[in-house]
Amino acid sequence: MEHKMVTIPFDLETAKRIREGKISGRIVTEKGRNRAEIVYEDNLSNCPLLVVIHSISVSADWFSATGKALSSENRLLLEVPEYITFKDGEVLSNEDGDYIFILNTNGKYLTSIYASFSIKRGLTISDTIAANGNNIERYRLATDSEKQRMINLLKISKDPKAKEYLKRFFGIEEKPKYEFKPFDKVLVRDEDDKEWRISLFAREIVDDSDGLSYKYECSNGALWNCCIPFEGNECLLETAEKSRKKMKTRTYEGVQHGDWVRCVLCGAQMLLPCGADKCPECSSEGTLTWVDEDKQEMDAEHLDCLAPICKLELQEYLSPEILKMEHI
């Protein structure tokens, strides 16, 4: 991978590392971008750096530790590989765009991560591992679409750290998705292992001063702990969280091993080719979540499956963005 070079303000310590060959790069002048070479350092002077400037002719001048010339308006700059400038929390990507991660500069590795995504493994959230290869030179700053992909994945993740990273690195604070109004049609239940029931919203119980431990009051004065809109969640009626793993899994021709996922939009539970990011049942993107976080990839023979429905085309389970990156 050819390194992208960027120009940054002069920094003496970085300049010394360049001069000593510890990192690649070069010192240049602001005017003319001429190569500059620090040949002497006088620590007792306000302008301690004697710099030789290579242009059409060779000249010399004294510069301050911040790179400002003594006898002119010229300044020193540094041209360095982009990876030298990577900061904590920035989203990086490999050249092909099929592996992206949030950089953790406080970790034990040069490429420690907070979260990563790969086509084969999906989203991984961990601050104790390194990016693939642990070689920072292999990576570049992610594009806007790659950053958005990471944001979308964090939004649908159930890991508590996902919301923390959304706020910390992207300034996105997940707010309640719905503001209920009286007589809204809703689904309610008390616990995850209970079935969703249909009701009409009355009010949210904002405190327990009246001794109630419930969060919502619905029609006929019934009290509930969980309340979600009926619209868009019709498929959940009379189902329970713990029963989802007992649902039959939809399979497709030729898919004997893959990602065991459920679409949060249409409720379909499926075994899809590894790396799928699009629901083939409702064509929604970014709505797939793991059925079981501990069993993300599964073999069809180990699942209670429906007969294969049909053969999937790439565009049915991969978003246009992924198709462009992987198959063009």
- Kindly state whether residues 53 and 123 are assigned to the same domain: no
| Whether the predicted pLDDT of 302 surpasses 90 | no
Query: How many folded domains does the chain comprise?
Result: 4
Top-ranked range on mean pLDDT: pick from 85-89, 203-207, 321-325: 85-89
Measured between alpha carbons, how far is residue 154 from residues 59, 268, 269 in Å? Answer: 54, 21, 20
Instruction: Report yes or no on 176 lying in a domain.
Output: no
With vertex at residue 155, the alpha carbon angle to CA 150 and CA 157, rounded to the nearest 5 degrees, is 95
Tell me the pLDDT band of 328, cut-offs 50, 70 and 90.
very low
Do residue 251 and residue 318 come from a single domain? yes
Task: Give, in order, the Cα–Cα distances in Å from 132 to each of 126, 137, 149.
Answer: 13, 12, 18
Residue 200 near residue 186 (C-beta atoms within 8 A): yes
Does the pLDDT at position 323 exceed 80?
no
Q: Which of 170, 201, 225 is the last residue of a domain?
A: 170
Lowest mean pLDDT among 102-116, 159-173, 308-322: 308-322
pLDDT for the residue numbered 207 = 62
Q: Is residue 249 exposed (0-12), middle (13-18) or buried (19+ Cβ within 10 Å)?
A: buried
- Is residue 131 assigned to a domain? yes
Task: Name the residue among 24, 136, 155 with its Cα closest to residue 87.
Answer: 136
Q: Are 37 and 69 found together in one domain?
A: yes
- Cβ 48 vs Cβ 66: under 8 Å: no
Task: Say if residue 77 is in the same domain as residue 127.
Answer: no
128 domain-assigned: yes
Domain-located, residue 207? yes
Which pLDDT tens digit goes with each residue over 61-110?
Answer: 999 999 999 988 999 999 998 888 899 999 999 988 889 999 999 999 98
Average pLDDT over residues 187-194: 77
Q: What percent of the chain lies above the pLDDT cut of 90?
A: 38
pLDDT of 129: 92
Residue 130 has pLDDT above 50, yes or no: yes
Residue 73: how many CB atoms within 10 A of its CB?
A: 8
Q: pLDDT band for position 28 (50/70/90)?
A: very high
Domain residues for the domain of 276 are 247-327
Please indicate, yes or no, if residue 179 is contained in any of the structural domains. no
Residue 177 is predicted with a pLDDT of 54
Domain boundary among 139, 170, 201: 170
Please report the pLDDT score of residue 50 as a whole number: 94
* DSSP for residue 225: S
> What pLDDT score does 102 carry?
96
